[in-house]
Amino acid sequence: MTAEIERSAHAYCPACNPDPGMGEPVTALCGATHPFWGRRERPVNNCPACEAVVTESVYPCGHTGGER
Ligand SMILES: [Zn+2]
Ligand SMILES: [Zn+2]
């Protein structure tokens, strides 16, 4: 997996990472941590682990999803 796909495909908790800086390490919902380079509008591939977590009502970090 390339870094470009990796950074485009993961989902993040907006409560834990409300405004990550460019290049700042952030932890995705699946637990993968990598530098944040901005959200992609049309990710080519979605991380299946992140997608599964997004469908849950509560994220692993304890925050609730689906509010927006
Ligand atoms: Zn992921
Ligand atoms: Zn959170």
Ligand nearest to C-alpha 50: 1
Cα separation values, 38 from 3, 20, 31, Å: 13, 8, 18
Confidence band of 63 (pLDDT split at 50, 70, 90): very high
Q: pTM for this structure?
A: 0.69
Find the mean pLDDT for residues 49-59.
Answer: 87
Cα separation values, 40 from 5, 61, 62, Å: 10, 23, 25
The yes-or-no verdict on residue 68 having pLDDT over 70 is: no
Query: What is the number of other CB atoms lying within 10 angstroms of the CB of residue 36?
Result: 20
Which DSSP letter does residue 28 get? B
pLDDT tens string 3-44: 544 445 788 888 888 888 888 888 989 998 888 876 655 556
Cα separation values, 7 from 41, 60, 64, 65, Å: 12, 19, 22, 20
Ligand nearest to C-alpha 48: 1
Alpha carbon of 33 to ligand 1 centroid (Å): 9
